[in-house]
Amino acid sequence: MLKAPHLILTAGLVSLLPVSFALAAPEAAEHVAEHGSGGLPQFDVTWFPSQIFWLAIMYAILYVFFSRKTLPALSSTIENRRNQVESDMEEAERMSSEAQKVQADYEAHLASTRQQATDQALSVENEIKEKALAQAATFRERSEKEMEKLEKSLSKAKSEAMKDIESIVTQITGDVVKKLSNLDVKESEIKKVVNSVSGEITDKKAA
């Protein structure tokens, strides 16, 4: 099968047939003048050998010229162009593959970053909750201790107040009894009565 440059050469040489006919035209004109015949000489059967001879010579000369210079240069240019196109296609495929790899790496990194951000947010949230619970427990414990201290203080103050009240009531009761009945009642007996009355009042309040 002929290559493209040889096909071009063959087509070019075939197109030179009119040139060979033109080269044989002077001889045909002399032949027509001698014999006085009319018509186109290239269609005269007697001139076919001369036409074929000149065609073969022109074909050989042009074939040698084109096969030695033009065809190698043309083939080299076509081959270089084909190699360049193949190289460009390989480079494009390589760049496309690298772009796909970069895209995949970017998406993987983005997913990893999102997951890390989510994990950090959950960690911070859990840490805040733990701190809040710890602070609440500390505040509750401190509050309970303060309430216990306050209750003890109140209980102590209440006891002291009751003692003071009992002392005052005992003294007042002794003075009143002494003034009303001119009796000198012992303070211990008055305290017993006051303690008995205050105990009954306390029991009634508790009930």
pLDDT digits (tens, 9 = 90+) for 153-170: 888 887 777 777 777 777
pLDDT tens digits, one per residue of 32-44: 444 444 556 667 7
CA distance 132 to 124: 12
Domain extent listing, the chain: 4-94, 161-206
DSSP 14-28: HTTHHHHHHHHHHHH
Please say whether the beta carbons of 177 and 183 come within 8 A: yes
- The pTM (predicted TM-score) of the whole model is 0.37
The pLDDT assigned to 194 comes to 63
Write down how long the chain is.
Answer: 207
The pLDDT assigned to 37 comes to 46
Which residue is listed with tokens 């003075």?
A: 175
By 3-state DSSP, what share of the chain in percent is helix, strand and coil, each rounded to 5?
A: 90, 0, 10
Q: What angle do CA 28, 34, 36 make, to 5 degrees?
A: 90
CA distance 51 to 44: 10
